[in-house]
Structure 1
């Protein structure tokens, strides 16, 4: 099986690839050889270990997005400044390779000067979302370790904002004093309570976080309830801070079903409705758009 071209999503912890044909995905593969585990010389061998079986005697185009284009990645690709289309013809960056069977291109990330912000990988998902929903104008949210909120209009990313919500949850639940009172499990009512507090009183977030510890010691707050409320507090505070990016606008959520479901629940509590799109579908649609843009530029 030879791929017509190969789509790659290369993040900090994971490498995912798809062999693409005229009708879409022919095969897929993944490894834990993310950017964070590789030095610059290790990227091409890691990629070839994953996609070698999809290559033939000719040259196969490889289109990649994500942290592979960062300063610590395989080949640093300069950001494109917003407002701009999330993916554009002629903006892909070629990567020097040793193996002549592949021609690797990386999709640039986006940057915003004031207030300062950057994204890598999310621009491809936003481009894919706009491909799947032509003419969409509104807010796009990509929940995750570093959640992104982007305002999109006339096919361009106009502005965006990043929130450290997922990383804060990981740090607080695994390394802070709060970890002593948390356990696995989930409590919807506790999440909703945290969500309401975080959204209505974001200025009190620091105090509300420590209250989880105190209630565990004094009132018997269960570990599952504390964990759920912690999630609600952080997501609620994010939604409050991101309100200028979504208030009164159509909203698309891109990501994993469960996490997007929590954000949709939080938005619904604020009177807003969001549509959830799978991250992989958006990534592949965005890279397919980049593939077409590359072919158009070459023509």
Structure 2
């Protein structure tokens, strides 16, 4: 019997798949092929195309998915697991089905509950990374950041997801840089650590948010920031503003890609916040492998 299977994180903008042999990653696929790019609900056709080389070689492998693929806009709408949440709660709500080509498939549910600011909140996909982090780095209590399109700040207690809050940092950067006057008529952008840290420092001054972000235009007009460095400055503003939610001196984990975690850690160092980095793929694979072993 084959011990191969496929782990998938299918989000709003990105698709990541991992060819697994038990708990070991053999190959991976990373495509900008999130839900927004799937036309007319053609999830099965899209997935089969993306996985075709693996399916041709290994046959109709089991597939375990997490992320927005289980949302109302996804392949199947899988009901959330409520807070507090642990692995057993996710397993009891996991949706199983068979793909048109015969692969047994499962979609892991997301999690919902009230945020620390007493607002209803949701996550899909991050719950798998959190379970993986808790297994790799067990602790009685952990604060965890998961940066991305919709960044999450999470409190873990004894391996359970106790509470979390969402910050639309990544999506705001995309909207402001592409569809607002802040990003209009800009030259080719370059990475500037100086402009980024200036944005972080500016965010620390406590200005109202809509006034704060306008400085990405006025500092350019005043000649304080080069036009090619506006994205770096705006990124610093948004990340710095998000990190104000962390108490000074608090040590927290940050789980994600190297590029994002490095940027957040740079901002956190300037702000007196201590972030420990964990690789997002490692946490996701570890968490999903545990869930798959129980299905």
Under a length normalisation based on structure 1, what TM-score does the superposition of the two structures give? 0.86
Name the residue aligned to 1:171. 175
Q: Structure 1's 260 and 58: CA in aligned 2 closer, same or farther, altered over 3 A?
A: closer
Q: Determine helix, strand or coil for the equivalent of 1:60.
A: coil
Q: 2 CA distance for matches of 1:84 and 1:153?
A: 10
| 1:189-242 superposed Cα distances (whole Å, 9 cap, x missing partner) | 2222221221231x43322322332232233631234332221111111111x2
CA contact 1:130–1:136 (8 Å) conserved in 2: no
CA contact 2:60–2:101 (8 Å) conserved in 1: no
Q: Structure 1's 40 and 227: CA in aligned 2 closer, same or farther, altered over 3 A?
A: closer
Under a length normalisation based on structure 2, what TM-score does the superposition of the two structures give? 0.88
Q: Structure 1's 159 and 86: CA in aligned 2 closer, same or farther, altered over 3 A?
A: farther
Q: Structure 1's 40 and 74: CA in aligned 2 closer, same or farther, altered over 3 A?
A: farther
1:226 correspondence with 2:227: no
CA contact 2:68–2:124 (8 Å) conserved in 1: yes
Q: 1 CA distance for matches of 2:168 and 2:183?
A: 18
Name the residue aligned to 2:93. 91
Q: 1 CA distance for matches of 2:255 and 2:192?
A: 24
Q: Structure 1's 137 and 249: CA in aligned 2 closer, same or farther, altered over 3 A?
A: farther
Report deviation, 1:15. Answer: 2.6
How is 1:94-113 mapped onto 2 (pairs within 5 angstroms)?
Answer: 94-100=96-102, 102-113=103-114
Q: Structure 1's 44 and 107: CA in aligned 2 closer, same or farther, altered over 3 A?
A: same
| 1:136-194 superposed Cα distances (whole Å, 9 cap, x missing partner) | 62111011111111011111111111111111111111111111474411322222222
How is 1:85-164 mapped onto 2 (pairs within 5 angstroms)?
Answer: 85=86, 88-100=90-102, 102-113=103-114, 114-135=118-139, 137-164=141-168
Name the residue aligned to 1:60. 61
Q: Determine helix, strand or coil for the equivalent of 1:159.
A: strand
Instruction: Show structure 1 runs of 5+ residues with no match.
Output: 295-299
CA contact 1:117–1:162 (8 Å) conserved in 2: yes
Name the residue aligned to 1:196. 201
Name the residue aligned to 2:45. 45
1:69 correspondence with 2:70: yes
How is 1:146-295 mapped onto 2 (pairs within 5 angstroms)?
Answer: 146-180=150-184, 182-183=186-187, 184-201=189-206, 203-219=207-223, 221-240=225-244, 242-243=245-246, 249-294=250-295
Instruction: Show structure 2 runs of 5+ residues with no match.
Output: none
Q: 2 CA distance for matches of 1:29 and 1:166?
A: 22
Report deviation, 1:39. Answer: 5.1
Equivalenced residues, count:
289
CA contact 2:183–2:230 (8 Å) conserved in 1: no
Q: 2 CA distance for matches of 1:258 and 1:52?
A: 29
Q: Determine helix, strand or coil for the equivalent of 1:206.
A: helix
